[in-house]
Amino acid sequence: MEGTIPTHIAIMMDGNGRWGKQRGLTRSQGHYAGSKTMENIIKDSLEIGLKVLTLYAFSTENWTRPPKEVQYLMDLPAKFLNTKLPDFMENDIKICISGDIEGLPSHTKKAVKKAVSETKNNNKLIVNFALNYGGRHELISVVKKILSDIQDTKITIENIDEQLVNTYLYTSGLPEPDIIIRTGGEQRISNFLLWQSSKSELWFTDTYFPDFNKKLLLQAIEEVNKRKIKE
Ligand code: IPE
Ligand code: IPE
Ligand code: MG
């Protein structure tokens, strides 16, 4: 691989359902396979020295899917985080969540909060799960919190600038993504990081997420590095 490793890569992990269907499996089996790929990509991110990996796991629009699939997708984070916690501690991985945590079922919320609090002092790699995340939902929550802080005279209208808005986002404290990768062939933003993606490079692959791997991750980085050389 030539060139520099970016600080923050965000992945829209799309194509799990189609991956399952293609193999005569269920969509949920596709999501399970996707969760195994997620494990590998976290390991790969550590190896290549990435600082922040954001994974789009569940959008605010995904609640409209069939109840069984939603239930499976809400059970996965608890299973994944509880199983992987020792590994995260051993490898100095900090878990963050971007999204409306309060809107999650209680068992999911509990697992998420536990993983965030137990890993809070780790600092080799931040794995930021976008869970119950929607860019518009996030911006509405920012507007509400800013208005409430103005009402409480904590800030004034004159204080509002880009930097201040950043501190009200779910991603407060995290750098903006250098690269946003979308697997699964679609080339749309699907309500992901609407504010934070202002300067991000976008990279698409037809590969369904369960088949995504380190080679493709490095290919994305290399191709984006080449775009920058041409500038
Ligand atoms: C995973 O892929 C994204 C999630 C919402 C978890 P999909 O479930 O959207 O799979 P496709 O796009 O239908 O194949
Ligand atoms: C985007 O994929 C959301 C996640 C990867 C979690 P979707 O499959 O939900 O998005 P659309 O429906 O193609 O816009
Ligand atoms: Mg999809």
Which residues have CB under 6 Å of ligand 1? Answer: 13-18, 31, 58, 62, 73, 184
Say whether pTM exceeds 0.75: yes
- 62 has catalytic annotation: yes
| Atom of ligand 2 lying closest to residue 57 CA | 6
Residues in the chain: 231
Query: 58: helix, coil or strand?
Result: strand
> Which of 116, 117, 118, 136 has its CA nearest to residue 128?
116
38 lines ligand 2 (CB under 6 A): no
Please give the pLDDT value at position 231: 72
Q: State pLDDT tens for residues 24-49.
A: 999 999 999 999 999 999 999 999 99
Q: Contact, 53 vs 220, CB < 8 A?
A: no
- Domain 8-134+177-230 coded CATH 3.40.1180.10: yes
The pLDDT, as a whole number, for residue 39 is: 98
Ligand 2 contact via 13 beta carbon (within 6 Å): yes
How remote is the CA of residue 61 from the centroid of ligand 2, in Å? 8
- Indicate the domain borders of the chain: 8-134+177-230
Q: Which residues of 3-30 are buried (b: 16+ CB within 10 A; e: fewer)?
A: eeebebbbbbbbbbbbbbeeeeeebbbb
Question: Which residue's CA is the closest to the ligand 1 atom numbered 3?
Answer: 14
pLDDT tens digits, 123-154:
999 999 999 999 999 999 999 999 999 999 99
Q: How far is the CA of 14 from the centre of ligand 3 (A)?
A: 5
